[in-house]
A and B are shown apart, each in its own frame.
Chain A
């Protein structure tokens, strides 16, 4: 698959052996042989592959700073990488880049229950934070489905969410401070164990910046006390419209569930065959609602949700009566990706956000597209916050199918924008969706973002080619031609 990435600098490629030698001055973990580079050639979006010039695995902030400073001085591009689970290709290497893997930053530095936070290195996995504090009854709220493998640094880069972000927010709402290193080697500490920092909210703008503004070397994250009681309920509907309107009603009645997920029939069947979670097979849509709080509050809310479901013509319901049963309800949902992997040789997982009341509309459109492209699709939504994940199934042995699947995905995202949504809810733009940015933003908007990037990285060396469209005629330099305010960069290389 051809993907347009920033042109490789031949001088850098020619100087590989010298650069590798120099990098060895700063850290003893430099990989440069072809075989050593292979594990780093792709991330969670594995349809694209590219080996970097070299891989460095620094072990402390000083090494990160020295490496970045060296690369900055010698105009070498740097691509940061966490656990490599990202789904938008945010850490796809460039041929002439130094890939900086943060894998050796794998220690939790401090558990501070008095300030209710954990200070951690960025390579620690999301789940490991919860595991480190759960004996004291605490947990870290964002829970992306890759939480077993994905790192906190990567979560920060993509502002990851998960099934519980409806009530507890995404990464940006749960990180109190970071230490970052800018491309010129400057080390900055932003935020900390306190709540509000004065001055520009650099912490906020850093969250979800996809590795374009700096490299995280430490994070202070908020931990929460586990709720007293948690229950989940499975609700089946004979139409996706009914499920969608049930979601809207629950929210507008003032209930804020901890999680609220919809799965469509193809996904119900696929996950049920795979994980045997006990889902009903005869419904068109399945809603999982999880409520937490005090025991009596949870009881009352579950009853309210069931009443609302009944008004929306629910055909099936089952509430969990134990934690095991609740975990079983989630087992199917959390196995969604694996289940699709079994029924199809390949799939791509899309990610868009839409207003809640457009769920049925968008799903209807996705089904039309499925027929048009003749590709199967299964859908799961973080319905409470309008975040959808269609899984488009295809066979990569047929080169035409990947192209079809990508066009299918792009059509879905364009429609998300059309109904008032956005291109990404939690996976980020990466290389996957960057050409679609012009669907959402006009030239002024993008130029403003690019000029902010320059404030952090004036040579555009840190993770270039991601998030923003790569334009012939140098959009980065502000010379895009706009015709009647409508042109959407017609000369873009499309992939």
Chain B
């Protein structure tokens, strides 16, 4: 392990990056190192942003929070909780995936990975909730973009670009995120015994209503044991639909779901079980302590059936985002290669979330089939980081 430098303010981050920029000396950027994500990279220096932390301002009535990037997700969520607010994009806690226990990491890390939970299809991804940021670019300059307001067309929307850039464009020092009032109530309607094809059709039926479903996932029969909730029936596949809002409205909408899916075997999870269910699902506890390659596949809903018909026997998986996302794991590298080909052909995007270091070193983390996209990405990287010193190679080899 190389030397880790942990600055305590923006100026120190800027000075450090400026020096490295002059020497073209590559830097790995970490928060509290909770996510083993992206390609393994060789850097002589590590920049740890954990000590750039603290809540800068929080105005609940303005629906935003401004924090330093090294602030722990836990601290921020507790603060929001005290005002009965939350992040709409439901940040994932990947600690269960990597270490078998909760470890949410820093907000900077969450932003850098654009991590969004089950509500994403209804309310947008993290990138839709980042209102503004401050950062140090690869030349050591302090830059900012955006602001604290939701409507903003003032120059390029760099907030979108830094979300999910895995620290390859700049070192985030401050982020401003939109927050939302917590929903007063929620319940989850579970349907049992469907095949994946039936599930995708059921998603369509549910989404073709005005019921404002805010969570829609499907677990095949042998992958449901970890839920251990009273009203979740075991040994059967589960399709779950979450409804949130004022209590009477939620109950009305659950009634309507009962009518729509009257012929199905179902149960309803009350608010406590519903919350627990979606937390387990969001934090990928299906893959807890599993020693396999874990991937995220985002693809058009209409291609999900074909994908599963081809691959469901070779993978452990669940479907989220009403059919738009498949989380999966496999031990077999060959299967991953085949899935990459399928993904490129069908306009999907396959991302490796967990694998051993050897795979992370030698194989692609993202699957990019478009050379022009890669050329432009490389130019964008240089426009922020001309000497390619920030997390070089983390997203793509050579970028």
Question: Are chains A and B native binding partners rather than an unrelated pairing?
Answer: yes
> What is A's interface to B at a CB cutoff of 8 Å?
112-116, 137, 158-159, 161, 165-166, 169-170, 172-173, 182, 186-190, 192-205, 207-210, 213, 225-228, 248-249, 251-256, 293-294, 296-297, 300-301, 353-357, 382, 385-387, 420-429, 437, 440-441, 444-449, 451-456, 467-468
**A193–B164 CB distance below 8 A:** no
**B300–A300 CB distance below 8 A:** no
Nearest 7 Cβ contacts at the A-B interface: A204-B160, A254-B181, A297-B249, A425-B151, A252-B61, A455-B379, A193-B300
Number of A-B contacts (CB under 8 A): 257
State A113–B205 Cα separation when bound (angstroms).
11
A445: chain B residues at CB < 8 Å are 143-145, 155
**B156–A209 CB distance below 8 A:** yes
State A477–B184 Cα separation when bound (angstroms).
53
How close is A466's CB to chain B, nearest CB, in angstroms?
11
- Using A114-B301, A195-B121, A357-B62 as known contacts, say yes or no to A441 and B144 having CB atoms under 8 A apart: yes
**A188–B155 CB distance below 8 A:** no
Given A201-B165, A251-B63, A451-B383, 8 more A-B residue pairs with CB atoms under 8 Å apart are A227-B210, A227-B212, A301-B246, A353-B151, A355-B62, A357-B62, A445-B144, A445-B155
How close is A209's CB to chain B, nearest CB, in angstroms?
6
- Using A172-B128, A188-B373, A455-B379 as known contacts, say yes or no to A448 and B143 having CB atoms under 8 A apart: yes
9 contacts across the A-B interface (CB closer than 8 A): A193-B301, A194-B299, A196-B325, A294-B211, A297-B248, A425-B153, A441-B155, A444-B143, A449-B156
- Using A198-B349, A294-B249, A420-B147 as known contacts, say yes or no to A205 and B158 having CB atoms under 8 A apart: yes
State A170–B125 Cα separation when bound (angstroms).
14
Which among B351, B373, B382 is the interface contact of A202 at CB below 8 angstroms?
B373
Q: Is B82 engaged at the interface, CB distance under 8 Å to the other chain? A: no
**A225–B208 CB distance below 8 A:** yes
**A426–B158 CB distance below 8 A:** no
State A376–B94 Cα separation when bound (angstroms).
56
**A448–B249 CB distance below 8 A:** no
A467: chain B residues at CB < 8 Å are 155
B376: chain A residues at CB < 8 Å are 182, 186, 188, 202, 455-456
State A301–B300 Cα separation when bound (angstroms).
35
How close is A467's CB to chain B, nearest CB, in angstroms?
7
**A196–B114 CB distance below 8 A:** yes
Chain B interface size, under 10 / 10 to 19 / 20 to 34 / 35 or more: 35 or more
**B181–A424 CB distance below 8 A:** no
Q: Mark B355-399, 1 if CB is under 8 A from A, else 0.
A: 000000000001110101100110110111000000000011000
State A452–B370 Cα separation when bound (angstroms).
20
Q: Is B154 engaged at the interface, CB distance under 8 Å to the other chain? A: yes
State A166–B212 Cα separation when bound (angstroms).
17
A437: chain B residues at CB < 8 Å are 154-155
How close is B189's CB to chain A, nearest CB, in angstroms?
15
> What is B's interface to A at a CB cutoff of 8 Å?
59-63, 84, 114, 116, 120-121, 124-125, 127-128, 137, 141-145, 147-161, 163-165, 169, 180-182, 184, 204, 207-212, 245-246, 248-249, 252-253, 298-302, 321, 324-325, 347-351, 366-368, 370, 372-373, 376-377, 379-380, 382-384, 395-396
B180, B384, B396: residue with the most chain A Cβ atoms closer than 10 Å: B384
B125: chain A residues at CB < 8 Å are 195-196
State A158–B154 Cα separation when bound (angstroms).
10
- Using A200-B165, A252-B61, A455-B382 as known contacts, say yes or no to A194 and B151 having CB atoms under 8 A apart: no
A420: chain B residues at CB < 8 Å are 147-149
**A356–B61 CB distance below 8 A:** yes
Q: CB-nearest residue of chain B relative to A210?
A: B153
State A467–B156 Cα separation when bound (angstroms).
9
State A193–B300 Cα separation when bound (angstroms).
5
A203: chain B residues at CB < 8 Å are 160
**A172–B151 CB distance below 8 A:** no
B372: chain A residues at CB < 8 Å are 186-188
**B151–A357 CB distance below 8 A:** no
**B149–A354 CB distance below 8 A:** yes
State A424–B62 Cα separation when bound (angstroms).
18
A297: chain B residues at CB < 8 Å are 245-246, 248-249, 252
How close is B41's CB to chain A, nearest CB, in angstroms?
17
**A444–B142 CB distance below 8 A:** yes
A448: chain B residues at CB < 8 Å are 137, 141, 143, 145, 158, 383-384
**B143–A205 CB distance below 8 A:** no
